[in-house]
Structure 1
Amino acid sequence: MNIEITPQTLVGSVNAVASKSHAHRLLIAAALSKRPAEVSIRTTSQDIEATRACLKQLKAGIPVLDCGESGSTLRFLLPVIMALKEEAIFLGSGRLPQRPISPLKEEMEAHGCSFSNKHRTKGTAQEICHIKGRLQGGLFTLPGNVSSQYITGLLFALPLLEKDSWIQITSPLESRSYVDLTLDVLKNFQIDIYTEEKEGLLTFKVKGRQQYIPPENLEAEGDWSNMAFWVAAGVLSKESGIIGRGVNLKSIQGDRAILSLTRRMGGEIQEKGDSFLALARPLHGIHIDASAIPDLVPILSVMAAAAKGTTCIHHAERLRIKESDRLAAMYDCLSRVGVDLAEQPGGLTIRGGSPIKGGRVSGYNDHRIVMAMAIASVVSEGPIIIEGAEAVNKSYPGFWDDFKYLGGEYREL
């Protein structure tokens, strides 16, 4: 679906969609529980449905897990499934079969699993790996700068094993808030993980033969990763701002940092209860370390384009292996609408303050690229055409409905 957006100020209130980061974790923990547990998820998405569908395969003798395009689903469930099964097949679509699973793969191989790939297909899905051998406990070593999702997958799996285990992180842990979110969910399911930090490096000690025991109430939080787009729309709009409802203002979610980053850029955020108000204010450029908040880079790049002065985004190397190469994608999209910026191996330098002129851009089959460029229309001088606008379904199927409700105007081409 290609759409043409007519520049309009956005104003009003919007309800948060469910955090897929939180929902993935709650669904997995609930599925591993000894007694039935019901998870309340206010909205769903392609990624959440991928995890839900894969967990139904727990009852199969040889599970065939179609992870769709969800990297979280794949990386979380690789060790979890092999803690329970002797054999499993993992499938994926889009860029997922090409996205890395190392060094998790090598650690699992060192602990009883063998990987192969016969390149089978099922509809649009391609085989990612065929694994044989039950995962065994022991010492796992992983770098902290590759993917926190590998650590999360092991933290879910290792309590199920017979032996005790240790996860040793060999370099400072980036995206630590995602691991903290995992630990919080595990704690609520009465899983004990001992965390030791020495000279900036973490070791997680995990006793085997634990049981997942669910709490009474399980509800996925509102999603800060997607609410960030409305924070940006509020501070970029020219009228009375945008109210976001249904969020935890003290959430462990790392992307709650959109509030502090917006304030650093000069925006005004008012907080009350489970809501915030984002108000239009002149923005200025800042330096942003994206190591802990990679998913915010697309929308922060749009905010930087509208801000006076230069914004430098660095430590964002991992964005090159997301649904798209997000650094290259944002460089291309913003260049096409007249923004002055430069791309580096690990980031972007954006010289803001000049008008955004409008133009035609690719959505790169990436939900966050599409939503970022939709918000860019708020400060654009001319229409923005986005190719592949349906990519929002991956995390936020109702995005275009909310965009229109807040005053946005678009038409399908």
Structure 2
Amino acid sequence: MEKVKIYPAKLAGTVQVPSSKSMGHREIICAGLAGGTSIVDNISMSQDIEATMRVLRAMNVSVDEIPSMIEGRKALQITGTGHPIAAADNVDCGESGSTLRFFIPLGANLGCPLTFIGHGKLVSRPLQAYYDILDKQFVQYFNDNGNLPLTVNGHLMPGKFELPGDVSSQFVSGLLFALPLLKGDSEIIITSPLESASYVDMTLNCLAKYGVKIENVDGAHRHYLVPGKQRFKAQDSKVEGDWSQAAFWTVGGALGAGITASGVDFASLQGDKAVVEIMQRMGADIAQNADSVTVNSSTTQATVIDAS
């Protein structure tokens, strides 16, 4: 077994932040639902992203890797028909909860049986919020005592969709991807305060980029109006950097000898971007540039952090 010896040192230098996996899922799905060809660049490939690519291919979407404009990253050329159809009878979501929950509403609208399978802890991840909706929609589904494999078979009907806010925001995002494609208008009602609202904001932002209009009625993430008969518009896009990854390096720079994290977007809606404001309150020496943040060695002070 090879050994590695680690010597005490202060962190310093420049890092290219990996792209956001959360936004990568959303960009790839929106591109796959569009009619035409899109190129999504700056993808940090992972098993979860590969799972989303597999499910899109099972819905008759062409997904091909092409050279990226960014060293060490991947780009995808994605061609869709504008409306998913079944090209397989089962899809493997790996261990990706985002993939599974984002695609169940789309799978439930294909009009033919589609079986979702998974591995590891994904097999038993809670899906009751969707089961309640499918019951009200009279969409057939079969599962193993609430666990995967899950088979769905039917067509979603436009109307009112209710979800509790204390479940994963992935359920809300899954509906937001599917409902614009229905033949009539729909509403999503959140029956209790929504946790992880920033992730729903990320979904709404990505949908808007691909030409889909959704109204957050009260601005409080409790009521969404989703017009039907919409079409996703193909386009070229670049996945933004991951603020949760950048957070580690910014803190490392303050504790060390200075670090620049490049590839971030200060217009991002990612909740973890709050690390910059928190560190500013703590007195960290921070410099913001167009697509990077530099944090120099700092003497920090105590503060109160709202982790929500």
Deviation, structure 1 residue 173:
2.2
From 245, 254, 259, the equivalent of 1:242 is 259
CA distance in 2, matches of 1:235, 1:103: 42
Residues 24 and 43 in structure 2, CA contact (< 8 A), matched pair in contact too = no
Aligned to 1:35: 36
User: Are 2:120 and 1:105 equivalent residues in the alignment?
Assistant: no
Q: Alpha carbons of 1:192 and 1:226: their partners in 2 closer, same or farther (altered >3 Å)? A: same
Query: What do the CA deviations read for 1:208-253 (whole angstroms, capped 9, x no partner)?
Result: 12111123x311111112122211211222x2x1101111122112
From 274, 286, 300, the equivalent of 1:269 is 286
Deviation, structure 1 residue 259:
1.0
Aligned to 2:59: 58
Aligned to 2:296: 279
1:91-240 equivalence runs, <5 A = 91-118=117-144, 127-197=148-218, 200=220, 202-215=222-235, 217-237=236-256, 239=257
Q: TM-score, with normalisation over the residues of structure 2? A: 0.83
Q: TM-score, with normalisation over the residues of structure 1? A: 0.63
Q: Alpha carbons of 1:63 and 1:27: their partners in 2 closer, same or farther (altered >3 Å)? A: farther
Letter in 2 for 1:208: G
State the secondary structure of the residue aligned to 2:272. helix
CA distance in 1, matches of 2:4, 2:127: 37
Letter in 2 for 1:56: R
Residues 171 and 201 in structure 1, CA contact (< 8 A), matched pair in contact too = no
What is the total number of aligned residue pairs between the two structures? Answer: 281
Q: Alpha carbons of 1:50 and 1:8: their partners in 2 closer, same or farther (altered >3 Å)? A: farther
Deviation, structure 1 residue 85:
4.1
Deviation, structure 1 residue 114:
2.8
CA distance in 1, matches of 2:3, 2:120: 21
1:370-381 equivalence runs, <5 A = none
Residues 240 and 264 in structure 2, CA contact (< 8 A), matched pair in contact too = yes
Aligned to 1:49: 50
Q: Alpha carbons of 1:286 and 1:91: their partners in 2 closer, same or farther (altered >3 Å)? A: farther
Moved more, 55-64 or 162-171: 55-64
CA distance in 2, matches of 1:145, 1:113: 24
Q: Please, what is the CA RMSD of the aligned residues?
A: 2.4
Structure showing the higher helix proportion among its residues: 1
Structure 2 alignment gaps of length 5 or more: 61-85
CA distance in 1, matches of 2:37, 2:218: 35
Deviation, structure 1 residue 267:
2.6
Deviation, structure 1 residue 128:
3.6
From 80, 96, 101, the equivalent of 1:75 is 101
Identity %: 40
Query: What do the CA deviations read for 1:169-191 (whole angstroms, capped 9, x no partner)?
Result: 12222222211111111112211
Aligned to 1:257: 274
4+ residue runs over 4 A deviation: 1-5
Residues 21 and 44 in structure 2, CA contact (< 8 A), matched pair in contact too = no
CA distance in 2, matches of 1:172, 1:136: 26
Query: What do the CA deviations read for 1:41-70 (whole angstroms, capped 9, x no partner)?
Result: 342112111111111110244442211121
Residues 57 and 87 in structure 2, CA contact (< 8 A), matched pair in contact too = no
Residues 145 and 172 in structure 1, CA contact (< 8 A), matched pair in contact too = yes
CA distance in 1, matches of 2:296, 2:279: 10
Structure 1 alignment gaps of length 5 or more: 120-125, 292-413
Residues 62 and 89 in structure 1, CA contact (< 8 A), matched pair in contact too = no
Letter in 1 for 2:127: I
Query: What do the CA deviations read for 1:331-383 (whole angstroms, capped 9, x no partner)?
Result: xxxxxxxxxxxxxxxxxxxxxxxxxxxxxxxxxxxxxxxxxxxxxxxxxxxxx
CA distance in 2, matches of 1:115, 1:15: 44
Q: Alpha carbons of 1:268 and 1:2: their partners in 2 closer, same or farther (altered >3 Å)? A: farther
CA distance in 2, matches of 1:280, 1:62: 54
User: Are 2:122 and 1:89 equivalent residues in the alignment?
Assistant: no
Q: Alpha carbons of 1:20 and 1:114: their partners in 2 closer, same or farther (altered >3 Å)? A: same
CA distance in 2, matches of 1:2, 1:78: 44
CA distance in 1, matches of 2:88, 2:135: 19
Letter in 2 for 1:207: P
